[in-house]
Amino acid sequence: MTDGSQFDSLADLYVDWSELPFRQHLEFPSVLGLVGPVDGLRVLDLGCGSGVYSRKLAKAGATTVVGLDESAGMLEYALRREAEEKLGITYISGALPAELRESFDLVLAVYVLPYARDYSQLLTLCQAAAEALRPGQRLLTLPIHPAVHTDPEYYSRYGMQIITSTPLADAVPVGLNLRFGRYDAHVIPYYWTAATLERALTEAGFTSITWHLHRTADSGDVDAEFVQPYLDKPHAAIIEAIKAPRQA
């Protein structure tokens, strides 16, 4: 398993980070735009953390939302919110129960693959996503962008500092400082090259791998000066991968 404990005390931070313009104007429109209509969808939010996406998808009308995470602190927060809001989300820790295998139309894994510390963990995460999906259905996942900017301050306006060491190569630890408002936290994601990400996805049974660009919301007042540097050099990539359809 990866190291979920580094997130145990970060639920409030991730919830408040979700309110920042970076997530509101760049990440959410990009990811939710690719998710598309959720009515009737069965979704697994893999590495759901505090449940930010799980709640969004349940509120938007997904039929089934399951959030899975290995961090006790994150799940505690998500479960507390679910007890208050009763959106019908199921949260689980550990492996996906056998009865839920091949039952999902979409697996969302936002900022989860970077917490694989070696290729075997990366493959295990991709396999967990593949096992959850019905054949022909898709995974949307956001690893560290293979072409991430290496100036630590480049992303500071988005509430983070990213400290890379060179040369960037598979499984190189990256320092991620989450600095905004009252928060100043440090986590360690890992860098993966595009070739290795694609290799792990393919080995796990995904085909038709597509790299998507970030976008902003269609409407609303988006500050071009704020979003453009991110659009030019996003810190995360958005990958869509389709689980191979069942052979006839």
Work out how close the CB of 13 gets to ligand SAM at its nearest, in angstroms, rounded to a whole number.
Answer: 10
Residue 181 vs 225, nearer CB to ligand SAM: 181
Work out how close the CB of 19 gets to ligand SAM at its nearest, in angstroms, rounded to a whole number.
Answer: 12
Three-state DSSP string of 64-84: EEEEECCCHHHHHHHHHHHHH
Report which of 130, 123, 148 is spatially closest to residue 198, judged by C-alpha positions: 123
Where does this chain bind ligand SAM (CB under 6 A)? 1-2, 4, 7, 14, 47-49, 52-53, 68-71, 74, 110-112, 115, 125
**E strand intervals along 24-152:** 42-46, 64-68, 90-92, 104-110, 133-142
Strand order in the sheet with 175-180: 160-163, 175-180, 183-187
Q: What is the dihedral of CA 147, 150, 154, 158, to 10 degrees?
A: 60
Contact 235, 26 (CB under 8 A): no
Alpha carbon distance 77, 79 (integer Å) = 5
Alpha carbon distance 87, 65 (integer Å) = 9
Work out how close the CB of 7 gets to ligand SAM at its nearest, in angstroms, rounded to a whole number.
Answer: 4
Residue 22 vs 53, nearer CB to ligand SAM: 53
Residue 16 vs 170, nearer CB to ligand SAM: 16
Work out how close the CB of 134 gets to ligand SAM at its nearest, in angstroms, rounded to a whole number.
Answer: 21
Residue 52 vs 241, nearer CB to ligand SAM: 52
Work out how close the CB of 102 gets to ligand SAM at its nearest, in angstroms, rounded to a whole number.
Answer: 19
Residue 72 vs 169, nearer CB to ligand SAM: 72
Residue 103 vs 124, nearer CB to ligand SAM: 124
Work out how close the CB of 121 gets to ligand SAM at its nearest, in angstroms, rounded to a whole number.
Answer: 7
Alpha carbon distance 162, 184 (integer Å) = 13
